[in-house]
Amino acid sequence: MLPIRECVLQTPGYVPGEQPQTNDFIKLNTNENPYPPPPEIFDALQAELPKLRLYPDPVSTKLRKAAGAVFGVSADNIIAGNGSDDILSIAIRTFVNPGEAIAFLDLTYSLYDTLARIHGASIIEIPTDENFALSEPIICPEAKLIFLASPNPPVGKHLNRDYLEKTCAQSTAIVVIDEAYVDFSDENHLDFLQKYDNVIISRTMSKSYSLAGMRVGFGMASQSLIEQMNKVRDSYNLDRLSQTLATAALESHSYFQTIWQKVRRTRSRAIAALRDLEFFVFDSDSNFVLASPQWMSAAELYAQLKERKILVRYFKHPRILNYVRISIGTDEEIDRLLTAIAQIKAQK
């Protein structure tokens, strides 16, 4: 027998959305930003190339300063990660012993479950209501760490702010508020950082800053939490190119704000058009929508769209078997999706 940890053997592992390695798909399945970053940000890379023989800044100083300026938080209250996934993993390894409990909603970002399992943590699933929403503050004294995404996938709505705040106030656990999609909405929870020393807010540059391919995310928290998390992260967790490009992107913050508005306009249009096509569609605070065709199985719709080279996300989760999750693409991509759906519907 090879000495493989039992919890690893028992974990299916995280199943990411399909990432086709060809360019012939309209890709509306993993919530990337359909608009590229502004080309000027690539200029900064040239100066870094000759320095690639040198290790990068282990604590991503410039990047954290740029992030702090955008988020209105001191750089000392920020840790940078190799994607926000890295921040989630660092949080588990900093605050939870194997065998202790991690809590999250019964329908949310599925990586929480995978990370908890491979850590050997026990899992507490917090039940959501019929709209997949938090129905009351979480009281869970056994949990050492609580992951709450707001907006929460796959629905994409913010969790009730009052319940979230009460959860932070009443918990002895560390509460990670995962704000991966927050820039596509009007609210955030940064003010909780001043009020609660057990709160970590995570952000990513993968969605709103069009840099999913670069892998950059942040955790924001009190200095005493950041100090401990810094001991746990990989020694050089962000490479030179990521630090440089992400810093330049944050300095072009206003460009991205325009993009977020554009995505939100397309989202409103997509929701209205899908409802006209007889879908049940949840409202969304994110760059995706969860939609259920009332005239065909979602699994079949997913397959038929894929045949037409349009990728949406289908989850084999019992509570959302008849839903597809659709990332908001460009107006043109969404028009092509809507045309394809109308054709599929007409052929039924």
Footprint of ligand PMP on this chain (CB under 6 A)?
Answer: 83-85, 109, 149, 153, 178, 180, 204, 206, 212, 217
CA 272 to chain centre: 24
By beta-carbon proximity to ligand PMP, the closer residue of 84 and 171 is: 84
CB of 112 to ligand PMP, least distance (A): 9
By beta-carbon proximity to ligand PMP, the closer residue of 85 and 341 is: 85
By beta-carbon proximity to ligand PMP, the closer residue of 150 and 171 is: 150
CB of 264 to ligand PMP, least distance (A): 18
Q: What is the DSSP letter of 29?
A: S
List Cβ neighbours of 103 (8 Å cut-off, separation of 6 or more).
123, 124, 125, 126, 138, 140, 143, 145, 146, 147, 173
CB of 212 to ligand PMP, least distance (A): 6
CB of 117 to ligand PMP, least distance (A): 17
By beta-carbon proximity to ligand PMP, the closer residue of 15 and 45 is: 15
Residues found in the chain: 348
By beta-carbon proximity to ligand PMP, the closer residue of 60 and 204 is: 204
CA-CA distance, 157 to 197, in Å (whole number)? 25
The helix (H) or strand (E) run that includes residue 289 is strand 288-293
CB of 82 to ligand PMP, least distance (A): 8
Please state whether 32 falls in left (phi above 0), alpha (psi between -120 and 50) or beta: beta
CB of 4 to ligand PMP, least distance (A): 26
By beta-carbon proximity to ligand PMP, the closer residue of 206 and 292 is: 206
CB of 178 to ligand PMP, least distance (A): 5
By beta-carbon proximity to ligand PMP, the closer residue of 151 and 340 is: 151
* Crossing angle (nearest 10°) for helices 61-71 and 240-251: 30
What distances in angstroms separate CA 241 from CA 51, 101, 222, 225, 268, one per listed residue?
10, 36, 28, 27, 35
CB of 69 to ligand PMP, least distance (A): 20
By beta-carbon proximity to ligand PMP, the closer residue of 206 and 210 is: 206
Among residues 81, 74, 87, the alpha carbon closest in space to that of 176 is found at 87
CB of 343 to ligand PMP, least distance (A): 30
- Write out the two tokens for 180: 């991966």
**Which strands make up the sheet holding 78-81, listed edge to edge?**
78-81, 217-220, 199-204, 174-178, 143-149, 101-105, 122-126
By beta-carbon proximity to ligand PMP, the closer residue of 217 and 329 is: 217
CA-CA distance, 292 to 296, in Å (whole number)? 9
CA-CA distance, 150 to 208, in Å (whole number)? 15
List Cβ neighbours of 98 (8 Å cut-off, separation of 6 or more).
7, 119, 120, 121
Is 221 within 8 Å of 194 (Cβ atoms)? Answer: no
